Amino acid sequence: MTTPFESPAPPPPGLAPVRPGRKLGPIADRVGSSHRAWLEPTRCSYITSGRTLSDLSEHVLLAKSKLSELLRGVGHYPRWEVVHRLSIELGIPNWPLYRLWRQGALDIGKSKEWIDRSSENTGAVPPGDQPLEHSGLRFMMEDDYRCYAAAFLAAGPCDDAIEDTFAILWLSWEDALASPDIRRYAWNILRATVLAKATYRDNLPELENAAFDTVAMYTHRSETGRITQLTESLELYKAISKLPPAQLDVMVLRYLCGASEERTSHLLGVPLAVVRSDERHAHRFLHSAITLPPETEGPVT
């Protein structure tokens, strides 16, 4: 399963916290992407904290076995009041964690009433003060991120993907700052978050919905012209979805979002030469893969 969060590298030998007792098990396979989005950074905070389950259990007011289940995604989806107490003990930013926890609850079918009841003892969750650099990155990237997401998702899921992306980035901000390129780190989160919500056909993300919103569709006055353009667009987007990840991203940004080569390089956090190389390889594949129907003068009478 694609996950929008990359766990940081383990501490060097000799620096890892030594805990008594059994090692925390892995996240259960059945855990969905939105649940995993907040669970993985929470686990990482626990692992790097040096705290033990026994110690946390006393402060979170949850049995050690139940706390272990929570950190592995086993059992019932946890109530916010429990996750909130855990976040305080581990020093996790409250607002992005709540955002992701709430989205995870909605995605597994929890009602808004259940969400409200499970958080009624914690009071309103304030937005908090996000890191200044995080706010600046969002200001610079959000419009382009939204355009990329809209190529795969309808309006509602698209908005959710953008909010989730920046919430995950906030939770993992220290790791983002320590990464070789913060733009690349952020893009990987966006990509994984969007594709986790996308619709798939034959294990490929669907781009066909974007075909109905192309500029070319609106330039044809005749019904025949629009149908021909739609057929061509569907064929093109189906072929684009078969591209390797890096080439797919470049083509979506360049030709669906209209980003320049330089802007695409900036968004992806890769050198300009890499963008140009990916675009050349993508063009070669598309030219060999696309078979468009011949143009006609109209219906035969």
Above pLDDT 70, what percent of the chain? 80
How high is the pLDDT of residue 130? 86
How high is the pLDDT of residue 208? 60
Lowest mean pLDDT among 82-86, 251-255, 272-276, 295-299: 295-299
Q: List, in sequence order, every residue forming a beta bridge with 200; answer none if it has no partner.
A: 205
Which one is predicted more confidently, 272 or 287?
272
> For residue 283, which of 259, 253, 256, 248 has the smallest C-alpha distance?
248
pLDDT score of 299 more than 80? no
Q: What mean pLDDT do residues 38-60 have?
A: 94
What CATH number does the domain located at 33-118 have? 1.10.260
How high is the pLDDT of residue 279? 96
How high is the pLDDT of residue 207? 85
Which one is predicted more confidently, 222 or 80?
80
How high is the pLDDT of residue 120? 85
Asked if 283 and 255 count as a contact pair (C-beta separation under 8 A), the reply is no
**Burial class of residue 217, CB neighbours in 10 A (0-12, 13-18, 19+):** middle
3-state helix, strand, coil in the chain (%, to 5): 65, 0, 35
How high is the pLDDT of residue 230? 46
Which sequence spans correspond to the domains of the chain? Answer: 33-118, 132-289
Cα Rg of the chain, angstroms? 23
80 torsion bin: left (phi>0), alpha (psi -120 to 50), beta (else): alpha
Tens-place pLDDT, residues 241-280 = 999 999 999 999 998 899 999 999 999 999 999 999 999 9
* pTM exceeds 0.75 for this model: yes
Lowest mean pLDDT among 57-66, 106-115, 160-169, 283-292: 283-292
Above pLDDT 90, what percent of the chain? 70
Instruction: Tell me the C-alpha distance between 7 and 276, whole Å.
Output: 30
How high is the pLDDT of residue 265? 98
Average pLDDT across the chain, whole number? 85
Burial 141-161 (b: 16+ CB within 10 A, else e): beebbbbbbbbbbeeebbebb
How high is the pLDDT of residue 233? 65
Q: What mean pLDDT do residues 153-176 have?
A: 94
Where in the chain does DSSP place strands (E)?
Answer: 200-201, 204-205
How high is the pLDDT of residue 20? 63
Instruction: Tell me the C-alpha distance between 249 and 278, whole Å.
Output: 9
Tens-place pLDDT, residues 205-250 = 988 666 545 443 344 344 444 444 445 667 788 889 999 999 999 9
How high is the pLDDT of residue 289? 84
How high is the pLDDT of residue 13? 47
How high is the pLDDT of residue 213? 54
pLDDT score of 7 more than 60? no
How high is the pLDDT of residue 203? 92
How high is the pLDDT of residue 19? 62
